[in-house]
Structure 1
Amino acid sequence: MSNHKSRIRNFLNTKFGFFLLVLFLFWMKTYYIYRTDFTLGVKGSVQQFLLFVNPLPAGLLLLGIALYFRGRLSYWLMILIDALDSIWIFANILYYREFSDFLSMSIIKGSGDVQNNLGKSLAQIIHPTDFIAFLDVIILILLFVFRIVKIDHRPFKIRNAFVISALSFILMFAEFGMANANRSGLLTRTFDNNYIVKYLGLNEYAAFDAYQTQKESATRSEAKPKDIQNVLKYINANRSKPNIQYYGKAKGKNVFIIHLESFQQFLIDYKVDGKEVTPNLNRFYHNQHTISFDNFYHQVAQGKTSDAEMMLENSLFGLQQGSAMETYGTQNTYQAAPAMLDQHGYTTAAFHGDVPSFWNRDNTYKSWGYQYFFDSNYYKIKPSYNVGYGLKDKIFLRDTAQYLQRLPQPFYAKFITLTNHYPYEIGKEDSNFPATKTGDNTVDPYVKTANYLDQAFGEFMNYLNKSGLSKNSMIVLYGDHYGISNNHRPAIAQLLHKKNIDSYDLAQFQKVPFMIHYNHAKGGINHTYGGEIDVLPTIMHLLGMKDNNTVQFGNDLLSKHRNQIVPFRNGDFVSPEYIVMGSNVYLTKNGKQITPNAQQKKQIDSMQSHVYKELSMSDHVILGDLLRFYTPKGFKKVNKKDYNYKYNYGMASLNKLDQENHSSLEAKNHNRSTLGLYKTNAPELK
Structure 2
Amino acid sequence: MNSILNIFRKSPFWTTFILVMIKMVLFRQFNFQGVQVDRLLSDVASVLVLLCVFELITTSRWKSLVFNSVNIILSLLLFSCTVYFTFFGSIPTYTALHGLDQVGGVKESIGSAINLKFFLFFLDIVIIALLYIFTLRTREDKAKSKSVAKPIYVGIALVVAIGASFLYIRNDLDISNELVQAERLGVLNYQVATAINEAKENKAIREGSTEKTKETLAQLEEGFSGEVGVVDTEKQNFFGAAKGKNVIVVQLESFQDMMVGLKVGGQEVTPVLNGLIKENSFYFPNMFQQIGQGNTSDAEFISNTGLYPVGHTAMSKGFGDREIPSMPRLLAKQNYVSNTFHINDVTFWDRQNLYPALGFDKYYERPSFVNDNFNGFGASDEEMYRVGMEKLTELHKQNQPFYAQFIATSSHHPFWMKQKFMSIDIPKELSGTQLGHYVGATNYADKALGIFIENLKKNGMWEDTVLVVYGDHHGLQIKENDAAWVEKVLGINYHDQISRFNVPFLIHAPGVEGKTYEGVAGQIDMMPTLANLLGISLKDEGYTVFGKDLLNTTKNVVGMRYYSPTGTFFNDDIMFVPGKGFEDGTAIDLKTMEPVADFSKYRADYDYVLELMKLSDGYVKLLPKRTE
Per the shorter chain, which TM-score range? 0.7 to 0.9
Q: What does residue range 297-336 of structure 1 map to in structure 2 within 5 Å?
A: 297-330=288-321, 332-336=322-326
Letter of the 1:161 counterpart:
V
**Which of 184, 187, 193 is the equivalent residue of 2:173?**
187
Q: 3-state SS of the aligned residue for 1:348?
A: strand
Q: 3-state SS of the aligned residue for 1:451?
A: helix
**Which of 383, 389, 398 is the equivalent residue of 1:401?**
389
Contact 1:366 1:640 survives alignment (8 Å): no
Partner of 2:569: 573
Partner of 1:522: 513
For residues 5 and 104 of structure 2, the distance between their equivalents in structure 1, rounded to whole angstroms, comes to 46
For residues 495 and 182 of structure 2, the distance between their equivalents in structure 1, rounded to whole angstroms, comes to 22
Structure 1 stretch 316-325 or stretch 96-105: which is displaced more? 96-105
Q: Does 1:410 align with 2:393?
A: no
Partner of 2:75: 86
Partner of 2:582: none
Contact 1:248 1:545 survives alignment (8 Å): yes
**Which of 391, 413, 424 is the equivalent residue of 2:379?**
391
**Residues 528, 497 of structure 1: CA spacing in aligned structure 2 closer, same or farther, 3 A cutoff?**
same
**Residues 301, 229 of structure 1: CA spacing in aligned structure 2 closer, same or farther, 3 A cutoff?**
closer
Partner of 1:531: 522
Q: Does 1:76 align with 2:65?
A: yes
**Residues 458, 165 of structure 1: CA spacing in aligned structure 2 closer, same or farther, 3 A cutoff?**
same
Contact 1:235 1:553 survives alignment (8 Å): no
For residues 9 and 114 of structure 2, the distance between their equivalents in structure 1, rounded to whole angstroms, comes to 37
Shift of 1:155: 4.5
Letter of the 2:408 counterpart:
T
For residues 489 and 160 of structure 1, the distance between their equivalents in structure 2, rounded to whole angstroms, comes to 52
**Residues 502, 138 of structure 1: CA spacing in aligned structure 2 closer, same or farther, 3 A cutoff?**
farther
- Deviation track 1:449-483 (CA, whole Å, cap 9, x = no partner) reads 11111110110111112222111221110001111
Shift of 1:526: 1.3
**Which of 353, 369, 381 is the equivalent residue of 1:363?**
353
Q: Does 1:99 align with 2:88?
A: yes
Q: Percent identity?
A: 24
Partner of 1:591: 593
For residues 163 and 468 of structure 2, the distance between their equivalents in structure 1, rounded to whole angstroms, comes to 56
For residues 416 and 54 of structure 1, the distance between their equivalents in structure 2, rounded to whole angstroms, comes to 44
Shift of 1:93: 2.2
Shift of 1:220: 7.2
For residues 11 and 82 of structure 1, the distance between their equivalents in structure 2, rounded to whole angstroms, comes to 17
Q: Does 1:433 align with 2:424?
A: yes
**Residues 213, 334 of structure 1: CA spacing in aligned structure 2 closer, same or farther, 3 A cutoff?**
same
Contact 2:484 2:494 survives alignment (8 Å): no
For residues 280 and 445 of structure 1, the distance between their equivalents in structure 2, rounded to whole angstroms, comes to 19
Letter of the 1:321 counterpart:
H
Paired residues, what number?
A: 596
Shift of 1:116: 2.2
Q: 3-state SS of the aligned residue for 2:516?
A: strand
Partner of 1:605: 603
Q: What does residue range 255-270 of structure 1 map to in structure 2 within 5 Å?
A: 255-270=247-262
Name the TM-score, length of structure 2 as normaliser: 0.86
**Residues 314, 107 of structure 1: CA spacing in aligned structure 2 closer, same or farther, 3 A cutoff?**
same
Letter of the 2:516 counterpart:
I
Contact 1:66 1:75 survives alignment (8 Å): no
Shift of 1:424: 1.8
Q: 3-state SS of the aligned residue for 2:239?
A: coil
Letter of the 1:116 counterpart:
G
Shift of 1:353: 1.7
- Deviation track 1:470-509 (CA, whole Å, cap 9, x = no partner) reads 112211100011112445452x43223399x999641332
Structure 1 stretch 518-527 or stretch 237-246: which is displaced more? 237-246
Q: What does residue range 48-87 of structure 1 map to in structure 2 within 5 Å?
A: 48-68=36-56, 69-87=58-76
- Deviation track 1:419-472 (CA, whole Å, cap 9, x = no partner) reads 111222311111153457569855442222111111101101111122221112
Gaps of 5+ in 1: 1-7, 181-185, 629-638, 642-686
Contact 2:265 2:426 survives alignment (8 Å): no
For residues 19 and 106 of structure 1, the distance between their equivalents in structure 2, rounded to whole angstroms, comes to 29
Q: 3-state SS of the aligned residue for 2:550?
A: coil
Letter of the 1:351 counterpart:
F
Q: What does residue range 137-536 of structure 1 map to in structure 2 within 5 Å?
A: 137-141=125-129, 151-153=144-146, 155-176=148-169, 180=171, 186-188=172-174, 190=176, 192-211=177-196, 224=209, 227-231=212-216, 233-234=218-219, 237=222, 239-241=228-230, 244-285=236-277, 287-330=278-321, 332-377=322-367, 379-382=368-371, 384-407=372-395, 408-431=399-422, 433-435=424-426, 437=429, 442-488=434-480, 490=482, 492-497=483-488, 505-536=496-527
Letter of the 1:592 counterpart:
E
- Deviation track 1:266-318 (CA, whole Å, cap 9, x = no partner) reads 11122333322222222223x14111111111111211112211111111111
- Deviation track 1:656-681 (CA, whole Å, cap 9, x = no partner) reads xxxxxxxxxxxxxxxxxxxxxxxxxx
Partner of 1:615: 613
**Residues 380, 175 of structure 1: CA spacing in aligned structure 2 closer, same or farther, 3 A cutoff?**
closer
Gaps of 5+ in 2: 579-584
Letter of the 2:47 counterpart:
G
Provide the alpha-carbon RMSD of the alignment: 3.2
- Deviation track 1:167-206 (CA, whole Å, cap 9, x = no partner) reads 32233234346xx4xxxxx43462x432232111112223
Shift of 1:236: 6.4
Partner of 2:581: none
- Deviation track 1:191-234 (CA, whole Å, cap 9, x = no partner) reads x4322321111122233445556667777765546544544544
Shift of 1:580: 1.0
Contact 1:481 1:512 survives alignment (8 Å): yes
Partner of 1:29: 23
For residues 432 and 533 of structure 2, the distance between their equivalents in structure 1, rounded to whole angstroms, comes to 42
Name the TM-score, length of structure 1 as normaliser: 0.79
Shift of 1:58: 2.0
Contact 1:367 1:640 survives alignment (8 Å): no
For residues 508 and 148 of structure 1, the distance between their equivalents in structure 2, rounded to whole angstroms, comes to 59
Letter of the 1:372 counterpart:
K
Letter of the 1:35 counterpart:
Q
**Residues 187, 624 of structure 1: CA spacing in aligned structure 2 closer, same or farther, 3 A cutoff?**
farther
